[in-house]
């Protein structure tokens, strides 16, 4: 199976504090990887390096074998990014937001294709023409995923995507990510939500003080076992 996301021995310092310390991980096509850690553990810094927003002090990061620091403009064509709070234009409809962001990335899609993408992401057709100021957080997340899907992304980077979502919306998000993975996408989900990571991901890495301290297959642990392992590592 082809390796799509690669991070090798990256370190990033802020004011002599190591936000990420000699971190390495690899994510294959069709795989969902959960990066589990508390606030300040280095999850967002890792994602921002993969997005090209931050330069690592040492080490390498690549997407689809493309080195990110030197070729970010090429690498970003393969990336779909979904943040904790998807930013949309509140006075535009869901359909208009998707159309606008598609055009920004150079894609001109028909109204029927735009609507089809929103449907694929679980947004009911009845609300496609509603302004997004009326949308719940879960609905905005679906538009954000549709924007990434329209790019035909090979990689999805998610930073606390389930934060603030109700249980139904969280389950829908998990189902959608699994569907994308089944189509060959490589997905990195940074989160502190033990249950959601266990329910969604194929592999899990625990990050503490910028270091990857534990990796495991989801199939090897129950939710309760994962919680015990996580607490043990975070306490020590």
Residue 78's pLDDT is what? 84
Q: What residue ranges do the domains of the chain occupy?
A: 3-84+155-235
Cα separation of 41 and 46, whole Å?
10
Residue 15 has phi, psi (to 5 degrees) of 50, 50
Q: Which residue has the tokens 């329209």?
A: 150
Whether the CB-CB separation of 218 and 203 falls below 8 Å is answered with yes
pTM: 0.89
pLDDT confidence band for 121 (50 / 70 / 90): confident
Candidates 1.20.1250.20, 3.40.50.300, 1.10.287.370, 1.20.1640.10; correct CATH number of 3-84+155-235?
3.40.50.300
Whether the CB-CB separation of 29 and 180 falls below 8 Å is answered with no
Q: Could you read off the pLDDT of 170-220 as tens digits, one per residue? A: 888 888 899 899 999 999 999 988 999 999 999 999 999 999 999 999 999
Kindly report the average pLDDT of the chain as a whole number. Answer: 90
Average pLDDT over residues 9-20: 91
Helices (H), the chain: 43-50, 68-75, 94-104, 111-120, 137-150, 167-182, 194-200, 223-235
């Amino acid at each position: 199976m082809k390796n799509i996301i690669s991070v090798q021995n990256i370190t990033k310092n802020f004011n002599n504090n190591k936000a990420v310390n000699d971190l390495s991980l690899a994510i294959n096509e069709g795989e969902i990887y959960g990066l589990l850690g508390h606030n300040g553990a280095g999850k967002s810094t890792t994602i921002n390096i993969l997005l090209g927003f931050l330069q690592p002090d040492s080490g390498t990061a690549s997407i689809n074998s493309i080195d990110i620091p030197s070729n970010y403009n090429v690498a970003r064509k393969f990336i779909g990014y979904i943040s904790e709070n998807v930013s949309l234009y509140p006075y535009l409809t869901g359909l208009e937001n998707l159309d606008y962001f598609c055009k920004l990335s150079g894609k001109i899609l028909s109204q029927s294709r735009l609507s089809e993408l929103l449907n694929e992401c679980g947004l009911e057709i009845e609300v496609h023409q509603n302004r997004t100021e009326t949308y719940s957080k879960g609905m905005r997340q679906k538009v954000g995923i549709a924007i990434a899907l329209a790019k035909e992304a090979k990689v999805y980077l998610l930073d606390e995507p389930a934060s603030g979502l109700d249980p139904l919306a969280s389950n829908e998000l998990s189902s959608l990510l699994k569907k994308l993975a089944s189509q060959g996408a490589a997905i990195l989900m940074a989160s502190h939500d033990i249950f959601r990571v266990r329910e969604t991901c194929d592999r899990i890495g625990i990050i503490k003080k910028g270091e990857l301290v534990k990796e495991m297959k989801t199939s090897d642990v129950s939710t309760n076992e994962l919680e015990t392992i996580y607490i043990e590592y975070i306490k020590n």
